[in-house]
C-alpha cells in the first residue's frame, strides 16, 4: 500500500506529532444489523500505484515437505518460505470458499515498532495465507497470530476486518520492532446487531483482559496476545493499570490527522445509520480534529491517562436494518451534507467536484492547510463489499461484490466465492498501472471517472444513473443465480460452482464491454465543453440523418462560479459599448 508523510501544525490538540497517512477504508455490518441477515465487510484499496484486478488461488492438496513462498503484497519481493499445510482453500482476492473475508487499513503506529529484522510475513501475505487455511473468522485470527509468532511480522500497524457467515471481528496488530520477534495484537467481536469501521487509525481502546485465548469457546468475544499490555510497559510505551490500557492510544497515539483524515470516514458512515452520532456535536468536533479530555473515556469508564474522550465508539447500533445498497452507497461518500462537504468550497471548482488532487496538505504564508480525505477517492485501485450469507451453501452464499477504480464511479459486480475462474477483464496480468489493455476493467472505469472529474456535476449524474441500472440488474440476477446454483450444488457441488463461475465470467466481461461503450457515449456527448442532446443513451442528430448533432447546449461555468470569477477583478472582464 502506498503511504506518505503528513506533518501538521497542530493548534487544536495538546501535543504535536508526525502522522503517517494511509489510504484505505473498511466498514463492517453484522448479521443482525443487515436487512437480509448477511454479514458484510467492505474495503477500498487506495493507492496511487495500486492496479485493480482479481487474484484467484484455487484450492489445492499438498504433500509433506511442500513449501509456501511468501511474497510481499506491495512490491512482490520474496520474503521467505514457510511449510505448506495439507490442504489450502480457494481464495478470490480476499474472500475464500467458506465465506471468510478480510479487509485492512494501515495505521502505522509507533515508529520504533515499524521494522522487524528477519520477519517473513507482511500484512498482505497474512491475509492471503490466512484465507487459504481458515474456515471461520475465529480460525483466521488464530492462523494469523500463530504465523506471526512463528515467522515474525514484516509490516507496520494494521487494522483488519474479518468476517464469516455468522460473525464479524475487528483485529489490530503491530510488530515488536527490533525488541522481539512477532507482534502484539487484540481482536474484538462486533456485537450482533451493530456496525463498525476503521480507516487508518487504530480504533480499539480499552478492552477486557482475557486469561487465555480459547479458540473453541463461542462465548469468547475478545482475543489478544498475552503480552499486549506488558510489552508496552516493558519498553516504556505505557505506565498504568492493565484495566486502563488502550491499544489505540498506546500503539497509535491519536493526533489531528488520525481524526480528520481517518476516523472522520468512520464518522460519516456512523452518522448515516445512527441518529445519536448524527446529532452529537462532540463527535462532529472530533471528526474535525477538535479533541476533548473528560474524566470518563469513550467507553464510559474512568480516564486516568487523559486520553481523548470524544472519539467515536468502536461500534454503533443502526436505527434500522442496513441494506446492501446502503453499504455500497456509504463507500461512495464524500462527506455530502456534513460540515466537511467537499462540493462547495473553492477547491471544488466550477463543477462542484468532491475531489482534491494530492498532496493533502499545502502551505499558504507559512500556515499549513489541508484537503479533505473522504471514503470515495480518485486513487482507489479496487473496492469490494464481501457479503456472507448463512442460509446458502458456502461457495454460493459468499458474494464478493467487486469494483475497480473510484468507488463513486465503479459498478459492483457479483463474484461468487466458490468460482473456479475470474473474468478476463478483471484478471491479474491483464494490464497494469504502466501497461494499457483495451479490455481491462480498471482502465475502462478509469477513463470514465477521469472524464467525470473534469465536469463532475454535469457528467457524474449520468454515471450514477447507469451505475444504478446495472447494479439493480445484478441484484435481480443474483436472486435467480442463488436459487439455481444452490439446487445444483445439492446434486453436485462441482456443478453448482461451475454455474456461478459461468455467471461471474459472463457478467463481468459483459459489464466491461458495456462500460467501454458508455465511455464512448459520454466522450461524444460532453466533448469541448458542449452537451449534446440525447434520448436515453442515444445521441440525437439534427433530423437530416447525416451524423450532424442536434444543436448542443453550452452551460458554461454556472452562476455561482461566474460570480467568483469577477470578484476582485475590477472591470477587467466587463463588456463595454464601443465609443
Averaged pLDDT score across all residues of the chain: 94
pLDDT at residue 539 is higher than 80: yes
Strands 4-7 and 87-88: unpaired
Of the pLDDT bands very low, low, confident and very high (cuts 50, 70, 90), residue 5 is very low
Question: 41: which 3 cell numbers?
Answer: 465487510
Nearby residues of 243 by Cβ (< 8 Å), 6 or more positions away = 206, 209
Q: Which three cell numbers stand for residue 453?
A: 472529474
* pLDDT of 1 higher than 70: no
| For residues 100-108, average pLDDT | 98
3-state helix, strand and coil shares in percent for the chain, rounded to the nearest 5: 35, 20, 45
Mean pLDDT of 388-392: 98
Please report the pLDDT score of residue 10 as a whole number.
28
Tell me which residue of 195, 425, 161 sits closest to 317, measured CA to CA.
195
This prediction's pTM: 0.94
- Surface-to-core class of residue 326, CB atoms within 10 Å of its CB (0-12 exposed, 13-18 middle, 19+ buried): middle
Give the pLDDT band of residue 14 (cuts 50, 70, 90): very low
The cell numbers describing 297, all together, are 473515556
Tell me the pLDDT band of 18, cut-offs 50, 70 and 90.
very low
List pLDDT tens digits, range 158-170: 999 999 999 999 9
The reported pLDDT for the residue numbered 22 is 56
Give the model confidence (pLDDT) of 113-151 as tens digits. 999 999 999 999 999 999 999 999 999 999 999 999 999
Q: What is the mean pLDDT of residues 211-228?
A: 97
pLDDT score of 3: 38
Work out the pLDDT band at 517, boundaries 50, 70, 90.
very high
pLDDT band at 397 (very low <50, low <70, confident <90, very high): very high
DSSP string, 168-195: EEEEEEEE-TTTSSSEEEEEEEPPTT-E
With a CB cutoff of 8 Å and minimum separation 6, the contacts of 445 are 52, 403, 404, 405, 406, 409, 410, 411, 515
Amino acid at each position: 500500500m502506498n503511504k506518505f508523510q503528513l506533518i501538521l501544525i497542530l493548534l487544536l490538540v495538546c501535543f504535536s506529532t508526525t502522522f503517517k497517512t494511509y489510504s484505505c477504508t473498511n466498514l463492517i455490518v453484522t448479521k443482525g444489523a443487515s436487512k437480509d441477515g448477511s454479514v458484510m465487510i467492505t474495503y477500498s484499496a487506495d493507492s496511487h500505484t495500486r492496479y485493480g484486478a482479481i487474484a484467484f488461488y484455487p484450492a489445492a492438496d499438498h504433500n509433506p515437505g511442500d513449501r509456501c513462498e511468501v511474497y510481499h503484497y506491495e512490491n512482490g519481493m520474496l520474503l521467505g518460505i514457510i511449510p505448506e499445510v495439507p490442504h489450502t482453500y480457494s481464495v478470490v482476492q480476499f474472500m475464500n470458499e467458506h465465506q471468510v473475508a478480510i479487509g485492512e487499513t494501515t495505521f502505522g503506529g509507533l515508529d520504533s515498532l515499524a521494522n522487524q529484522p528477519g520477519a517473513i510475513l507482511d500484512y498482505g501475505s497474512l491475509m492471503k495465507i490466512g484465507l487459504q487455511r481458515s474456515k471461520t473468522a475465529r480460525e483466521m485470527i488464530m492462523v494469523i497470530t500463530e504465523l506471526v509468532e512463528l515467522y515474525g511480522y514484516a509490516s507496520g500497524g494494521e487494522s483488519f476486518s474479518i468476517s464469516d457467515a455468522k460473525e464479524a471481528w475487528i483485529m489490530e496488530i503491530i510488530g515488536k520492532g527490533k525488541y522481539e520477534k512477532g507482534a502484539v495484537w487484540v481482536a474484538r467481536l462486533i456485537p450482533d446487531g451493530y456496525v463498525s469501521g476503521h480507516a487508518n487509525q487504530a480504533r480499539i481502546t480499552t478492552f477486557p483482559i482475557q486469561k487465555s485465548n480459547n479458540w473453541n469457546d463461542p462465548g469468547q468475544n475478545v482475543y489478544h496476545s498475552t503480552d499486549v499490555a506488558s510489552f508496552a510497559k516493558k519498553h516504556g510505551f505505557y505506565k498504568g493499570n492493565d484495566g486502563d490500557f488502550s491499544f489505540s492510544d498506546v500503539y497509535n497515539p491519536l493526533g489531528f490527522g488520525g481524526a480528520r483524515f481517518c476516523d472522520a470516514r468512520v464518522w460519516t458512515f456512523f452518522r448515516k445509520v445512527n441518529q445519536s452520532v448524527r446529532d452529537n456535536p462532540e463527535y462532529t468536533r472530533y471528526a474535525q480534529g477538535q479533541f476533548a479530555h473528560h474524566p470518563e473515556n469513550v467507553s464510559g469508564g474512568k480516564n486516568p491517562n487523559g486520553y481523548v474522550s470524544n472519539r467515536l465508539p468502536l461500534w454503533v447500533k443502526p436505527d434500522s436494518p442496513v441494506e446492501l445498497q446502503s453499504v455500497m452507497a456509504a463507500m461512495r461518500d464524500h462527506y455530502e451534507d456534513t460540515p466537511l462537504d467537499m462540493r462547495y468550497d473553492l477547491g471544488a471548482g466550477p463543477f462542484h467536484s468532491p475531489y482534491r488532487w494530492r498532496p493533502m496538505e499545502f502551505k499558504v504564508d507559512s500556515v499549513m492547510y489541508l484537503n479533505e480525505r473522504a471514503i470515495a477517492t480518485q486513487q482507489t485501485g479496487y473496492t469490494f463489499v464481501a457479503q456472507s450469507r448463512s442460509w446458502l451453501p458456502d461457495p454460493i452464499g459468499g458474494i464478493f461484490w467487486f469494483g475497480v477504480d473510484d468507488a463513486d464511479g465503479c459498478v459492483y459486480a457479483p463474484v461468487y466465492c466458490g468460482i473456479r475462474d475470474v473474468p478476463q477483464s478483471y484478471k491479474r496480468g491483464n494490464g497494469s498501472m504502466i501497461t494499457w489493455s483495451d479490455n481491462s476493467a480498471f482502465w475502462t472505469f478509469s477513463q470514465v471517472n477521469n472524464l467525470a472529474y473534469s465536469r463532475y456535476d454535469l457528467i457524474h449524474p449520468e454515471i450514477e444513473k447507469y451505475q444504478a441500472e446495472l447494479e439493480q440488474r445484478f441484484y435481480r440476477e443474483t436472486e435467480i443465480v442463488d436459487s439455481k446454483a444452490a439446487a445444483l450444488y445439492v446434486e453436485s457441488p462441482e456443478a453448482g460452482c461451475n454455474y456461478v463461475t459461468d455467471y461471474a465470467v459472463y457478467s463481468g466481461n459483459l459489464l466491461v464491454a458495456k462500460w467501454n461503450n458508455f465511455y464512448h457515449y459520454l466522450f461524444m456527448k460532453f466533448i469541448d465543453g458542449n452537451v449534446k442532446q440525447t434520448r436515453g443513451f442515444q445521441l440525437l442528430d439534427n433530423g437530416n440523418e447525416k451524423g450532424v448533432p442536434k444543436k448542443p447546449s453550452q452551460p458554461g461555468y454556472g452562476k455561482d462560479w461566474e460570480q467568483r470569477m469577477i470578484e476582485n477583478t475590477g472591470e477587467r472582464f466587463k463588456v463595454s459599448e464601443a465609443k
